Amino acid sequence: MIASATTAAWAHTAFAYAGMGLGAALWRRCLRQQHRGGALAPGNFGVLVGLLVGAALGNKLVFLIERPDVVLAMWQSRALMFPGQSIVGGLLGGLIGVEIAKKLTGQTRSTGDAMVLPIAVGLAIGRVGCFLAGLHDDTYGLPTAAPWGMDFGDGIPRHPTQLYEIAVVLPLGLALHRARLPTPGLAFKLFLSAYLLWRFAIEFLKPVPVAYPLGLSGIQWTCLVALAIYLPLTLRAARTPS
């Protein structure tokens, strides 16, 4: 693991941007495979803008929900920028941004399926950066006696939750990308629903920085609210092939 906080931050950022870059390249490839034109085609470009703006806002918003203690500290110091980000927030914000962009541009066809594999690969690469950052990143797990527990720098074997996520997200994304599902958009709906369920569950293996009702973290409550809204849409799409 990286011992220096500064080096860890740079490494984490490098892997995050590498994941976004490769994800963008894969998205363009998926668009071509689905005969939907290039990333800069009028409809696709609008979706891309909505995705980027929504993801940028969402990842900060959910991070602030997860870490109100950081919000308070930054407010007291009158800082202009908040550190940290949330993958869950980025996904949910990106989804909302895409839907708004589609509404504004008059698009009615589903656009999510082309994003499944790019998101999965981008997430996996980003988690490598989280893993290398060790204790300097908030994604490490609780102490464990399991033989695969890893020392992130404090001499305590912990759950390598970043590696758990890679092991779940990559096969899930690849399987849904290859699946021939009857309803356009169902692959993305299944991916997002499964990821939200996964994040709710895996958070029990991580320290809770700020406890909300029932002892759940802000991320877990965000996942529950999102699932309450989004899971019925996913089940409806699965029951009514088009």
Q: How confident is the model over 212-225, as a mean pLDDT?
A: 96
Tell me how far apart the alpha carbons of residues 57 and 43 are, in angstroms, rounded to a whole number: 22
Tell me how far apart the alpha carbons of residues 102 and 236 are, in angstroms, rounded to a whole number: 21
pLDDT tens-digit readout, 37-68:
666 666 677 888 888 899 989 988 998 899 88
Tell me how far apart the alpha carbons of residues 155 and 127 are, in angstroms, rounded to a whole number: 21
Q: How confident is the model over 128-151, as a mean pLDDT?
A: 91
pLDDT tens-digit readout, 7-20:
877 787 888 888 88
Q: How confident is the model over 105-126, as a mean pLDDT?
A: 87
Helix (H, G, I), strand (E, B) or coil at 181: coil
Q: How confident is the model over 210-239, as a mean pLDDT?
A: 94
H or E, element range at 151: strand 150-151
Size (the chain), residues? 242
pLDDT for 29 = 82
Burial class (CB in 10 A: 0-12, 13-18, 19+), 111: buried
Answer yes or no: is pLDDT of 36 > 70: no
pLDDT for 240 = 78
**E strand spans, the chain:** 150-151, 157-158
Tell me how far apart the alpha carbons of residues 215 and 204 are, in angstroms, rounded to a whole number: 10
Tell me how far apart the alpha carbons of residues 50 and 44 are, in angstroms, rounded to a whole number: 10
Tell me how far apart the alpha carbons of residues 149 and 158 are, in angstroms, rounded to a whole number: 5
Q: How confident is the model over 83-104, as a mean pLDDT?
A: 88
According to DSSP, residue 137 is labeled S
Helix (H, G, I), strand (E, B) or coil at 143: strand
pLDDT for 43 = 67
Q: Percent of the chain having pLDDT more than 90?
A: 49
Q: Which two tokens stand for residue 13?
A: 């950022």
Q: How confident is the model over 118-126, as a mean pLDDT?
A: 93
Tell me how far apart the alpha carbons of residues 143 and 68 are, in angstroms, rounded to a whole number: 24
pLDDT for 8 = 74
pLDDT tens-digit readout, 150-191:
999 889 999 999 999 999 999 999 999 999 888 888 999 999
Other CB atoms within 10 Å distance of the CB of residue 78: 6
Where do we find the tokens 């939907």?
36
Banded model confidence at residue 82, pLDDT cuts 50, 70, 90: low
pLDDT for 40 = 63
- State pTM to two decimals: 0.91
Q: How confident is the model over 119-136, as a mean pLDDT?
A: 91
pLDDT for 141 = 94
How does DSSP assign 6-36, residue by residue? HHHHHHHHHHHHHHHHHHHHHHHHHHHHTT-
Q: How confident is the model over 204-219, as a mean pLDDT?
A: 94
Banded model confidence at residue 144, pLDDT cuts 50, 70, 90: very high
pLDDT for 80 = 52
Task: Report whether 183 contacts 119 (CB < 8 A).
Answer: no
